[in-house]
Amino acid sequence: MLAFATMTRNSALRDAQPLPAALDGRSIVLTGLMGAGKTLIGRRLAARLGLPFRDADTEIEAAAGSTIPELFERYGERAFRDGERRVVRRVLAGDPVVLATGGGAFLDPETRRTVRDAAVSVWLRCSLETLVRRVALRNNRPLLAGGDAAEILERLMRARHPLYAESDITVDCGEESPDVTTGRVLATLLTWRPPRRLAVALGDKSYDVLVGSDLISHAGAMLAPVLPQKRAVIVTDETVAALHLATLRAALAETAVETADIVVPAGERSKSLESYAAVVDRLLELRVERRTAMIALGGGVVGDLAGFAAATTLRGLPFVQIPTTLLAQVDSSVGGKVGVNTARGKNLVGAFHQPRIVLADVGTLATLPQRELRAGYAEVVKAGLIGDAGLFAWCEDHAASLLRGDRELEIEAILRATAFKTQVVGEDEREEKPDGGRALLNLGHTFAHALERETGYGDALLHGEAVAIGLGLAFQLSARLGVSPEEDAARVIDHIADVGLPAKLAMLDRRFSAASLVQHMRGDKKVRDSTLTFVLVRGIGHAYTSREVPVGAVIDLLRREGCTA
């Protein structure tokens, strides 16, 4: 008999489906209400994948030497859940398995954390009618003892579904056979792609950046674990609201997060003290509490505006970034810099306020005009020019396909640029290192901010376009000062122009005054002791800060680039 069992198992392993790559050595945990079929489907799924199967209830009974109904009767539900938590932790600490949990296991926050860390969770979601029919076939359900099954199950659905919705995957189950449902679970696992994750290491302010597709439609599952209260206010602009607000609100509702929203006009002009005051007034009107989260859904303007309101309202509200532009996904959503513009300059009023999490959904990039996508790409290039020559070479090879909407290249670009920034932010969160650190992220920005102020912070010159010109000017200035090869400046300018970004001042439809631009630079927040600070380069991937740049050299460069005196 033992030999037969061994032969059967070996045969099953030979015929097993290859493990989905997304599992990456993790277990599979099935959750759902009683009657969802977790054990039936779990056994079949384990056989298909060649993994061991474990049933949490069976493990608990074996450990306690009693049945589940006896444990409930003798010790009560609270003690049972404590034992269940320990069993789930023990099973998932070993080699990968398929684990069927009891219907209440996922209610425990510690158990949910354990599952998130060690497994891929699958919610088997069934209709009330299906569940009632299935549980009627068994009479050993402690939670149904002495009551109406339909009424009890409906109450459990209201209480538990928002927590089940935090699962990685949801599979709807109907009246089909367990084999059919198992096939559906397996097919979903084979196509599921978890978001890529980057950690921003800032001690007790650390957080994750998640990059992937369809994150907004699954935002409730990813945000619920990090929100201190199941209440949030979404700040967005009119353009983004029409595209993504309904999806986000529905996703949050699945996990019982109540939402209100504040919609501002689209464009850089909303990044102002007037808009900030209006947002704060609306937050106070909504009677937000210190645990009420603010969610920025939009580009850099929305992220900076909402983040500054979050930093200052009630002396600080929890904050989430869901950037919807490439520029925001690779730059402004990460690092905690938030603020608004004034008539005297860009980002002169603001704060450092780190988000709880960042969700970079590359699906939103498909809705961007090509001009906006190119503007965001300038920040990807910037990351390579500062400290990663390999990233810049990657950009030269892949820019055309990336800007045509290749999803995998978009993810790779965001990951590489963001990984560089997270490292810099982790080492110098508040830009306190005078000769490097986070200040290096301003490569090209001294020129860019001056151009933006001169053009009025509008659509005439997007931030990413100003940065593109600023990068070229920073490399030219470095070459003129003799610290960087001229051929590097030419290579950078050629690449910027090749992707359709303005690479030189002459490519804009207006002329500028060198004196006026330098005057704007003197009002830049990077000025120290009345001395202009520039980020220069010693070549591609080798940036450094300098406060020893002669103003005459800057004016001479600007005049050579077509500026008037």
Candidate list 26, 421, 453, 495, residue with the active-site label:
421
Candidate list 438, 453, 495, 526, residue with the active-site label:
438
Q: Please say if 421 is a catalytic residue.
A: yes
- Rounded to whole angstroms, the maximal C-alpha distance in the chain is 96
Residue position matching structure tokens 């699906």: 363
Q: Please say if 442 is a catalytic residue.
A: yes
Q: Please say if 315 is a catalytic residue.
A: yes
| Tokens (6 digits) for 20 | 């989905």
Q: Please say if 449 is a catalytic residue.
A: yes
Candidate list 218, 442, 453, 465, residue with the active-site label:
442
Candidate list 449, 495, 520, 526, residue with the active-site label:
449
Candidate list 271, 337, 374, 520, residue with the active-site label:
337
- Report the sign of the C-alpha dihedral through residues 10, 11, 14, 20, in that order: negative
Candidate list 14, 287, 315, 510, residue with the active-site label:
315
> What is d(CA 553, CA 503) in angstroms, rounded to the nearest whole number?
20
Under the phi-then-psi rule, with left for phi > 0, alpha for psi from -120 to 50, and beta for the rest, what region is 325? beta
> What is d(CA 7, CA 319) in angstroms, rounded to the nearest whole number?
56
The helix or strand, by DSSP H or E, that contains position 425, with its residue range, turns out to be: helix 407-427
Candidate list 445, 495, 520, 526, residue with the active-site label:
445
Candidate list 218, 374, 463, 520, residue with the active-site label:
463
> What is d(CA 167, CA 254) in angstroms, rounded to the nearest whole number?
11
Candidate list 59, 166, 268, 379, residue with the active-site label:
379
The helix or strand, by DSSP H or E, that contains position 345, with its residue range, turns out to be: strand 345-352
Q: Please say if 337 is a catalytic residue.
A: yes
Candidate list 372, 431, 454, 465, residue with the active-site label:
431
The helix or strand, by DSSP H or E, that contains position 98, with its residue range, turns out to be: strand 98-100
> What is d(CA 21, CA 23) in angstroms, rounded to the nearest whole number?
5
- Dihedral through CA 64, CA 69, CA 75, CA 76, nearest 10? 140
- Report the sign of the C-alpha dihedral through residues 439, 424, 395, 347, in that order: negative
| Tokens (6 digits) for 39 | 């054990």
List all residues 6 or more positions away from 374 whose beta carbon is below 8 Å from its beta carbon: 403, 464, 465, 499, 500, 501
Q: Would you please indicate which residues are annotated as catalytic (active-site) residues? A: 315, 337, 379, 421, 431, 438, 442, 445, 449, 463
